[in-house]
Amino acid sequence: MLKKNMRAVILILFLVGIIPLARVSADVGPKPSMEFTFSQEFSGTSVTITSGILFECEQPDCQDASPLQELGPQRFSCAATVCSALSYGFSPYHKLEIHFSDGITRTSNIFKTSQFQASYKVIVRQNDLLVTPRFSLNFFTPLTYVLICSGCLAGIVILVILIVLLLRRSARKK
């Protein structure tokens, strides 16, 4: 009886190990992101965003600036008063160039990547933009995903151990 139960447990573990292989995707997991919220500082007619570019820089003075490339989910996009960016990995320094409904293209100060899921406040001034990071507590960070996966794996291991112990115990009673 014990051999029959052990075979069933081994078969179940084998199937659980094989099932994830049926659906494998190379582009999973969280990616760094940026959210930009715009507010207008100067008085007059309210301006809206018509288009924008996020420049990526390796150097602190952004002399090597290049636009964030659109590759799969990686992109920079804007709506009327917000912009967002998703990337496989951001450079350390950035600069925004946003075109507004009043026909003026405004450029921001150089700013650093602040968090994995970063949030920025952008003040639209008469001739330029001022980008400042906003600190936020993001629950879903890479560390959180690692802890969740580790907890699930530990739960599966404990469950398997309990099943094996119960099977052994029931075999001894007979």
Q: What is the pLDDT of residues 45-82, one digit of tens each?
A: 899 999 999 999 999 999 999 999 998 889 999 999 99
CB contact at 8 A, 98 and 42 = no
CA distance to 5, 14, 116, 136, per residue, from 168 (Å): 9, 20, 48, 51
Q: Map out the domains of the chain as residue ranges.
A: 2-18+141-173, 33-134
Q: Which residues of 2-19 are buried (b: 16+ CB within 10 A; e: fewer)?
A: eeebeeeeeeeeeeeeee
Task: Output the average pLDDT for the chain.
Answer: 85
In angstroms, how far apart are the furthest CA atoms of the chain?
88
Enter the pTM of the model: 0.64
- Collapsing DSSP to helix, strand or coil, 27 comes out as coil
Nearest by Cα to 122 from 59, 57, 68, 47 = 47
In order of 47, 54, 76, 165, the CA distances from 101 in angstroms are 6, 18, 18, 70
For the chain, list residues with pLDDT below 50.
none
Q: What are 7-18's pLDDT values in tens digits? A: 777 777 776 776
Decide yes or no: CATH 1.10.3470 for domain 33-134. no
